[in-house]
Amino acid sequence: MLVRDPAAPRLTCAVAGVLAAICLSACGSDGSSGVDDAAEVTTNTGGGAEGTFLACAAGVDFHLVGDVGGQTIDITDAPSTGGFSQQSNPPGPHFRTPADSADDDEQRIVVYLTWDQVVASGEVAPVQGSVRLPLEGPLPGETVCAGTGSEMTIPGPDDEDEIGDFLFRLRELSGGTDCSEPLTGELKGCWRH
């Protein structure tokens, strides 16, 4: 049985977060994620799942940034329709832009993400899905699939400027018709309701 000495200092999540921030600012960044200049929101679910998501800047309804296979992705042009639903009836909790496959335009991005159950504001949940990149730009028309570690959040009341936003981070990316080709990089996105 492990017993903690009550006189010993405790490393709380807040202290750990401050130490991580000091380390990151001292160590710098190699810019490999492609998101260095974008505004970010840090979340903490209280269960130890802390991470950074891209925040939509004022006047921006959609933004996707990152790096996929060495290609820098920075897209703000997206369909004006779309949204997220947390209803349990089919297709279940999901986010999609454009709102309907009938609105798919190969010149524009298509994002479709799903998650398993209702997620409270401010909580972080794993997602599955994909992003089809537009025909103009890096990786034209390619589909990038979300892998393990991909997540979403809907910022809570403490993030008043982001209420109604849908934020996502896609990791362990893959591509190909069946999502079986591993890709390097990460994508971060935001959609403003």
E strands, 46-98, are: 50-54, 62-68, 71-75, 83-85, 94-97
Domains of the chain, residue spans: 31-192
**Helix and strand totals (H; E) in the chain:** 1, 15
pLDDT, one tens digit per residue, over 6-21 is 333 333 333 333 333 3
Q: What integer is the mean pLDDT of 61-87? A: 89
pLDDT, one tens digit per residue, over 43-68 is 544 333 346 899 888 888 899 999 99
Q: Is the pTM of this model over 0.75?
A: no
Say which amino acid occupies 25: S
